[in-house]
Chains A and B, each alone.
Chain A
Amino acid sequence: MYRVIRILLRPKFSATLILLSMAMVPVYADPPSSGLHESYSTDFFEERIAPILVKRCLECHDSVTTSGDLDLSSSAGWQAGGETGKTVDPIDPADSLVLHRIKNAEMPPPLKGEAQPLPAKEAEDLLRWIQSGTFWPKGRTLDRFESTSELRAGRDWWSLQPLEPMPQRITDEIGRRRQAGEQVNPIDLFIQEKLKSNQLSSAPPANKRALIRRVHYTLIGLPPTQDEVSRFLNDTASDAWSRLVDDLLARPQYGERWARHWLDVVRYADTSGYERDQEKPNAWRYRDWVVDAFNEDLPYAQFIELQLAGDEKEEASESDLIATGFLRLGTWNDEPNDPQDYQYERLEDLVHTTSSAFLGMTVKCARCHSHKFDPIAQSDYYRMASVFWPGPIKPRQSKWLGGPSPEELGAPDVLGWTDITATPDALHILKNGDRHQPLEPVVPGALSFVPSLQVDFTTPQSGAPTTRRRTQLAEWLTEHQHPLTWRVMANRIWQHHFGQGLVRSPNNFGFLGAQPSHRELLDWLAAELIRSEGRIKELHRVILNSATWKQAVEHTEAATYQQRDASNQFLWHANRRRLDAEAIRDSLLAVSGELDLKMGGPSFHGEVSQQALAGLSKKSAAWKASSPAEQKRRSLYMHIKRGLMPPMMTAFDLCEATQTVGKRDVTTVPTQSLTLLNHPFVHQRSQHLAQTVVAQSPQRAQQISAIWMSVLNRQPTSQEFDWSQKHVVQQAQRFATIPPQQDFPLASDQSDPSKTLTPSPVVHFSANSVMLDPESGGVVGVADLATGSHQAFQTQTERQPILKKRAWNDQPVLWFDGVDDYLNVTGNLLTNDQCTIFCVVNDLSASGHREILSNWNSKNNVGSSFFLGLTSDNQVRITDAFSNAGQVTQREQPFLLTLVCSADEVTWFQSGRLRGRRSAGLPNRRFDTPWVIGQQGNIDGEYWKGGIAELILYSTALPPSRRNLIEDQLAKRFGLTLDRENDPATITTEAQALASLAIVLMNSNEFIYLD
């Protein structure tokens, strides 16, 4: 039912709608019998006629758009008439062409075949005016933007008016209260006043636990620790709250949190988008610049100036150049259909982002025609566009990715912007936005909607390196008298404190945007921002110290109040807010104790499943996950690739990074539930937390409490505790019945490996035990250390690998040249596909298939051979049946590759970390063909390039405990670091059951929603 709304009522040309929705009476009443003298007056003209002309006629018939050669905006225009003749018949005014047009419903023109007759009252007024002699005040010219009507905004639109000073009644009230010794926050007075007039009242203050969670997330985007919670709960001093706020504002994590809000506005991403989706090198330095700007409380005016024109500062520092990255963040297509057209697309992106970010105005709508709803002329669009025109807009070398060359910018490692020329060609207004239809050239300048601030930008002296147009734009934007700049930013800040702005369309303060719910308050906040010289931390303090912000979500009158103000625009209670994507991911890391607060630097590449990578045209080659340690950094530092947004984040409404976003959607869909229940990232966190808890306390009751405290910052109630305990006990029982071979061993098995039966390896080749050719020095043979029943050998000298004696951790390594080196193996190694293979290797191949061990044979088992190797860039390949088995990282470095094949599962590990799993055994392998090491069977190809130091093979799928033991030994010998955090094998059933509880809590509404 809801689904029908707006859409049916909002065709593209919304103007129709308004007319349709107004009460309509057939046009043309009888001519009025009286009042002629009254209609021949300035008052009548200004009050009755001008609004009609502005609203109904000037869209097509003004001095700019003289459709039918008719200009109705001036007295001269009325007298001159148009193509079809005189507008007014001087002899018989009632017979005037203009009235006939109206009477016949030809004007205003029909829309989609439907007549748009003038409302009777307007038609009547026009008739009277014309009959009485068409009075026109001397020298008066009408302008379609001069006043607001129900169809559009004019220059008198609220957001274009100067900020209003604090109303006297509020000032008086503050004085009264202060005299009475009361603490008073002006915000509360504004809010209370509106609540009262709407028969609403505030909710009581939220409890301290809710408050500390709320303020932590608001200011730093992270949950409080247990210590922080208890410290605050026990702090009864009167300034406990303001100290907490100050403390959080002083933390570097504050800048990280608030930078993220700004990155949405500026469409931040780390790549360009489109086919090649190139890295934007050093984009991260802009991100870090924003973080620093918030942390240092950079005045807002400077924040704007540096982003728009940091390069034009005198003696611009590298940091100033980095700030201009703002202009480089958009998508960029190196292969546009028409590179000439594409310049204008880029200008639109820059105008749109700049005007949305700083002005909250949709200036881009005036690219093809004057704005339909706001007082923005088409010339305004081009005046603003010409500010960016001298920059690297025109088609140039692809390697500069749409920016200046390093020489032009004067800094090699900066993604920045500067003018390419100080004397650019004139930019012309384009008819319908079409570059083939240029109209007159424009003078770069400020937008015209605030006449008192309007200015043409000056041209710098000859020899100046840049046009200084961007600097002048910034100067105009940061005028204290600017009606939009300060309101728009104050509103953004308010929005991130309350979940809604005072204007609920933060990027649109125009006619189609939302009206302010508390205009006087918004003006006061904007004025405060100016007064504090644009210091945003000041505004945080004012807001956070208000009673309005500290209200509870719950209200005793909620049932009644929801009827009156369901969307809570009057703020009679706090909005319940869902954590955003970054806060969810960061919280998971924080509560498990793994969050790495390392700041700044290049973005890390998140782990992306093979399934999600399938969406890329270059698949795995295009994505390399960063190290496990990097994965524990804050989400702010996650690499954003436009062609592959991180699925875990987009599930929770991380916005598309192609256009500016002032406010994210907040959706609730089942895919989010699947993500939080099943995503490996969540499981890793829960397991880490469980293991930590187990290590700290042996008692189950304490463990359960600790899980609750960690995840939800509180103890469970007795009922919650009982449920939790039952869950943990039952899960532990269930997990214990799963055969250890498949998943994880019993605790006893872990603590004492000797208790398990120890199978022997089938074969064990080691570079420690080789026979060398005395002449060539090549490796002739390798002995089998396990049973001695096999041997690896190579008789052809040129195909012999060489021995590097002190290579990895001073251990010897067999070195294969990737051209023709390999070893034959005597005897058959396996009879079925159940096996465990350990090898210590590195890989220096560029790409392509290359094998470690293989029994492929062109005659017997094509498609059903057994082999282990790598393919493409870094994919592991385990027979043809499991050919994209997952990726290795840092393959040039020695690593331990472990493969475990059981009847119903294949898993493999890189240095202890689970990297790939197939939930079925390998189908129908043939094992009656010869084995080789370092190439693909008898293909004479797919040679290994790099070292092989150890190769151990078991003819059974080893249980995890056994596997770990062998891995531990090998790791120690070769100095490798093992990372088993995602390996269920290393966790006991007890801990696994606690992890199960942790997952439930991480999925709970209490975790996801802030009270």
Chain B
Amino acid sequence: MQESSAFPCGITRRETFTQIGAGFAGLALLDLISGDQPANQLMATDLPRPTGSGPRGSILPRKAAKSCIFLTMNGAPSQVDTFDHKPALKKYAGKTLPSDKDYINSGGRKVGYLTPAWRPFRPGGESGLMISDYFPNVRKHADKLCVLNACHTDSHAHGSALVAMNTGKTQIGRPSLGSWSVYGLGSANHDLPGYVVMLDKRGGPISGQPNWSNGFMPASHTGTPFRSQGAPILDLSGPAHLRGLPQQAQLELLSQLNNLHREQRFDDEKLAARIKSYELAYRMQAAAPEAVALEQESETTLGMYGVGNQPTDEFGRNCLIARRLVERGVRFIQLYSGGGHLEETWDAHESVEKNHGQHAAEVDQPIGALLTDLEQRGLLDETLVIWGGEFGRMPFSEGKDAPGRNHNPYGFTMWFAGGGVRGGFRYGETDELGFEAVTDRMHLHDIHATILHLMGLDHEMLTYFHQGRNESLTDVGGRVAHAIVS
């Protein structure tokens, strides 16, 4: 191989990139640097220059979503009780799953009998999509929803399945969907992180941080946990006596010293970038609390989201903050419903009615409000809203007259809204029992490929060179479900 080959080895280029700073407010640094001669030179001589200046892996000029809100129903909601209407379950109630259906009995739990939905389904909107009474508010938006009934995934265990839903693989250590989005699209707001995660107060998801990890990408692509009250991000402010003027004085002195230091040294973009990063940090100290300042919202809006009322207050706040973050250019916002373990999440082993009754009541009104609000503000077309868990649940109970259901990775439902998807549309089917995906199946990789597509990114082109391989979110799989794109 020649010294200067058209084949970029990637390593030194990435090095340059990360030295300069990227991701979380990184664009500003890049803007700063790109005006500097040495960096330009580096790019001109050291890199293959593609034509155009679109984002990585771009499939422009298709109109694409600018932001994504992923409403993660941690613990796995039951499809046959929510968005996958299976009237046949009434007919077969009390019978066992046909013996030719092969599955892993997750956790070796009791295997019971086919059980119909715990709440009735009714048609919603002009499309008449069947949605159960767990989601009366979401049902009002049926014509906005694109319901994917034939999802399936690679693991029946929460820990690895949720990691897979977030990163594409059941093994921890890979970049998450949000990291890939920010990597592909950058952030449109320099004062806020590009990828925000809001956890459930009851706790984080199992496996923790690897769910919003940057994996092998630079740390600047990591998801930033955001709190809905108080200082939203870590270390946003110091001790009380240094807040305000005293910290401003510190930054002034720092800037004087750093500039003097830099003047005595030859032009080095690293030093400049770090000086700049303090200006950005200072701006973030104002921008981040402002993003969660719900007192700026009207009473009507707060009421619509259920803020101030129980059980909707927490998720309502998070949904409302998600909308505010979208308005401020944040690319990827992930909201968790359910945290901690078992019944604190959607993991309805004990009782679907009790568990989903509680969790759906917490999220239904806020989600409905979010869809209304995004639409009213003209943001829905450019915001992809995703709803779903890490897998689904079995159509049968966990024992005779037992009201809970076990894990089911073979067939489950997610839905998309906004962001250019076909509304009032159902894509894919499970068998008549809602057990496994049969037509227009969407594997995890297909779901990811489609999400990236809707965000204007080609999942095969959006790669990151790591340890000898061009890694991608969908690995060697992934197929875009073009049928759901409007």
A interface list, Cβ under 8 A from B: 1-12, 14, 17-18, 21, 148, 150, 153, 273-275, 277, 331, 333, 335-338, 345, 352, 356, 362, 365, 373-374, 504-505, 507-508, 510-515, 553-555, 558-559, 562-563, 566-567, 576, 578, 609, 611-612, 614-619, 642-645, 647, 650-651, 653, 656, 658-660, 665-675, 677-680, 683, 719-720, 723-724, 727, 730-731, 734-735, 738, 742-744, 905, 919, 984, 992, 996-997, 999-1001, 1003-1006, 1008-1009, 1011
Given contacts A8-B50, A331-B173, A667-B22, contact A617 B208 (CB under 8 A): yes
Can you list 26 A-B pairs, Cβ within 8 angstroms, ordered by A? A5-B8, A12-B476, A148-B1, A274-B160, A505-B9, A505-B11, A554-B266, A562-B37, A616-B203, A617-B208, A659-B467, A660-B467, A665-B14, A667-B22, A667-B23, A669-B23, A670-B25, A670-B277, A670-B280, A671-B234, A671-B281, A673-B280, A677-B247, A678-B236, A738-B240, A1005-B261
> How far apart are the CA atoms of A665 and B216 in the complex, in Å?
9
Query: Quick check: A677 and B203 within 8 Å, CB to CB?
Result: no
Query: Quick check: A576 and B339 within 8 Å, CB to CB?
Result: no
Give chain B residues whose Cβ lies under 8 Å from the Cβ of A659: 173, 216, 467
Give the nearest-CB partner of B19 in chain A.
A666
Query: Quick check: B254 and A1004 within 8 Å, CB to CB?
Result: yes
Give chain B residues whose Cβ lies under 8 Å from the Cβ of A148: 1
Give chain B residues whose Cβ lies under 8 Å from the Cβ of A508: 11, 467-468
Number of A-B residue pairs, CB cutoff 8 Å, is 381
Query: Quick check: A677 and B238 within 8 Å, CB to CB?
Result: yes
B344–chain A nearest beta-carbon distance, Å: 9
Stretch at the interface among B53-61, B318-326, B372-380: B53-61
Query: Quick check: A644 and B209 within 8 Å, CB to CB?
Result: yes
- Asked if B401 is at the interface (CB within 8 A of a chain A CB), the reply is no
Give the nearest-CB partner of B57 in chain A.
A7
Query: Quick check: A337 and B468 within 8 Å, CB to CB?
Result: no
- Asked if B271 is at the interface (CB within 8 A of a chain A CB), the reply is yes
Q: Which 5 A-B pairs have the closest CB atoms?
A: A658-B173, A643-B208, A275-B159, A362-B468, A337-B155
Give the nearest-CB partner of A738 in chain B.
B241
Given contacts A9-B48, A744-B241, A996-B246, contact A651 B266 (CB under 8 A): no
Query: Quick check: A335 and B157 within 8 Å, CB to CB?
Result: yes
Query: Quick check: A617 and B472 within 8 Å, CB to CB?
Result: no
Query: Quick check: A4 and B207 within 8 Å, CB to CB?
Result: no
Give chain B residues whose Cβ lies under 8 Å from the Cβ of A730: 249
Could you give, for residues 266-277 of chain B, a 1 whenever the CB lies within 8 Å of some chain A CB and a 0 otherwise? 111011011101
B209–chain A nearest beta-carbon distance, Å: 6
Given contacts A678-B237, A727-B250, 19 further A-B contacts (CB under 8 A): A2-B17, A5-B8, A5-B13, A7-B461, A12-B463, A14-B470, A331-B171, A333-B159, A345-B171, A362-B467, A504-B11, A514-B11, A562-B38, A562-B41, A615-B225, A618-B341, A656-B216, A665-B18, A1000-B250
Query: Quick check: B465 and A674 within 8 Å, CB to CB?
Result: no
Given contacts A14-B7, A656-B215, A734-B245, contact A150 B468 (CB under 8 A): no
Stretch at the interface among B26-34, B63-71, B301-309: B26-34
Given contacts A9-B8, A10-B470, A275-B207, contact A666 B186 (CB under 8 A): no
Q: Which of B158, B260, B462, B464 contacts A719 (CB 8 A)?
A: B260
> How far apart are the CA atoms of A727 and B253 in the complex, in Å?
7
A620–chain B nearest beta-carbon distance, Å: 10
Give chain A residues whose Cβ lies under 8 Å from the Cβ of B38: 562-563, 566
> How far apart are the CA atoms of A674 and B341 in the complex, in Å?
32
Query: Quick check: B284 and A617 within 8 Å, CB to CB?
Result: no
Give the nearest-CB partner of A373 in chain B.
B468
- Asked if B6 is at the interface (CB within 8 A of a chain A CB), the reply is yes
- Asked if B358 is at the interface (CB within 8 A of a chain A CB), the reply is no
Range of interface residues on B (Cβ < 8 Å): 35 or more
Give chain B residues whose Cβ lies under 8 Å from the Cβ of A18: 6-7
Give chain A residues whose Cβ lies under 8 Å from the Cβ of B233: 671, 674
Give chain B residues whose Cβ lies under 8 Å from the Cβ of A4: 50, 52-56
Query: Quick check: B250 and A274 within 8 Å, CB to CB?
Result: no
Give the nearest-CB partner of B266 in chain A.
A558
Give chain A residues whose Cβ lies under 8 Å from the Cβ of B431: none
- Asked if B121 is at the interface (CB within 8 A of a chain A CB), the reply is no
- Asked if B346 is at the interface (CB within 8 A of a chain A CB), the reply is no
A371–chain B nearest beta-carbon distance, Å: 9
Give chain B residues whose Cβ lies under 8 Å from the Cβ of A1003: 250, 254, 278
Query: Quick check: B254 and A668 within 8 Å, CB to CB?
Result: no
Could you give, for residues 441-485 of chain B, a 1 whenever the CB lies within 8 Å of some chain A CB and a 0 otherwise? 000000000000000000011111101111010001000000000
> How far apart are the CA atoms of A567 and B54 in the complex, in Å?
26
Query: Quick check: A642 and B285 within 8 Å, CB to CB?
Result: no
Q: Which of A336, A683, A727, A731 contacts B239 (CB 8 A)?
A: A683
Give chain A residues whose Cβ lies under 8 Å from the Cβ of B277: 668-670, 672-673
B57–chain A nearest beta-carbon distance, Å: 6
Most chain B CB within 10 A, of A335, A668, A680, A719, is at A668
Give chain A residues whose Cβ lies under 8 Å from the Cβ of B266: 554-555, 558-559
Query: Quick check: B225 and A735 within 8 Å, CB to CB?
Result: no
Query: Quick check: B209 and A674 within 8 Å, CB to CB?
Result: no
> How far apart are the CA atoms of A735 and B207 in the complex, in Å?
44
Q: Which of A2, A617, A651 contacts B205 (CB 8 A)?
A: A617
Query: Quick check: B172 and A670 within 8 Å, CB to CB?
Result: no
- Asked if B3 is at the interface (CB within 8 A of a chain A CB), the reply is yes
> How far apart are the CA atoms of A1005 and B276 in the complex, in Å?
12
Most chain B CB within 10 A, of A336, A512, A997, is at A512
> How far apart are the CA atoms of A744 and B239 in the complex, in Å?
12
Give chain B residues whose Cβ lies under 8 Å from the Cβ of A731: 246, 249
- Asked if B42 is at the interface (CB within 8 A of a chain A CB), the reply is yes
Query: Quick check: A1000 and B254 within 8 Å, CB to CB?
Result: yes
Give chain A residues whose Cβ lies under 8 Å from the Cβ of B249: 727, 730-731, 734, 996
Query: Quick check: A720 and B220 within 8 Å, CB to CB?
Result: no
> How far apart are the CA atoms of A356 and B467 in the complex, in Å?
9
> How far apart are the CA atoms of A673 and B274 in the complex, in Å?
8
Query: Quick check: A644 and B463 within 8 Å, CB to CB?
Result: no
- Asked if B204 is at the interface (CB within 8 A of a chain A CB), the reply is yes
Q: Which of B20, B45, B214 contacts A668 (CB 8 A)?
A: B20
- Asked if B154 is at the interface (CB within 8 A of a chain A CB), the reply is yes
Query: Quick check: A609 and B257 within 8 Å, CB to CB?
Result: no
> How far apart are the CA atoms of A671 and B226 in the complex, in Å?
13
> How far apart are the CA atoms of A628 and B34 in the complex, in Å?
45
Give the nearest-CB partner of B164 in chain A.
A337
- Asked if B219 is at the interface (CB within 8 A of a chain A CB), the reply is yes
Given contacts A554-B266, A617-B208, contact A743 B220 (CB under 8 A): no
Query: Quick check: B472 and A566 within 8 Å, CB to CB?
Result: no
Give the nearest-CB partner of A152 in chain B.
B1
Give the nearest-CB partner of A620 in chain B.
B203
> How far apart are the CA atoms of A374 and B1 in the complex, in Å?
12
Query: Quick check: A616 and B208 within 8 Å, CB to CB?
Result: yes
Give chain B residues whose Cβ lies under 8 Å from the Cβ of A727: 249-250, 253
Give chain B residues whose Cβ lies under 8 Å from the Cβ of A678: 235-238
- Asked if B210 is at the interface (CB within 8 A of a chain A CB), the reply is yes
A50–chain B nearest beta-carbon distance, Å: 18
> How far apart are the CA atoms of A719 and B256 in the complex, in Å?
10
- Asked if B128 is at the interface (CB within 8 A of a chain A CB), the reply is no
- Asked if B413 is at the interface (CB within 8 A of a chain A CB), the reply is no
Give chain B residues whose Cβ lies under 8 Å from the Cβ of A3: 22, 30, 55-56, 186
Query: Quick check: A669 and B25 within 8 Å, CB to CB?
Result: yes
- Asked if B213 is at the interface (CB within 8 A of a chain A CB), the reply is yes
> How far apart are the CA atoms of A232 and B234 in the complex, in Å?
41
Given contacts A514-B12, A673-B280, contact A643 B273 (CB under 8 A): no
- Asked if B101 is at the interface (CB within 8 A of a chain A CB), the reply is no
Give chain B residues whose Cβ lies under 8 Å from the Cβ of A331: 171-173
B27–chain A nearest beta-carbon distance, Å: 8
Could you give, for residues 71-98 of chain B, a 1 whenever the CB lies within 8 Å of some chain A CB and a 0 otherwise? 0000000000000000000000000000
Give the nearest-CB partner of B409 in chain A.
A337
A418–chain B nearest beta-carbon distance, Å: 25
Given contacts A647-B234, A678-B238, A683-B239, contact A669 B21 (CB under 8 A): yes
- Asked if B286 is at the interface (CB within 8 A of a chain A CB), the reply is no
Query: Quick check: B204 and A616 within 8 Å, CB to CB?
Result: yes
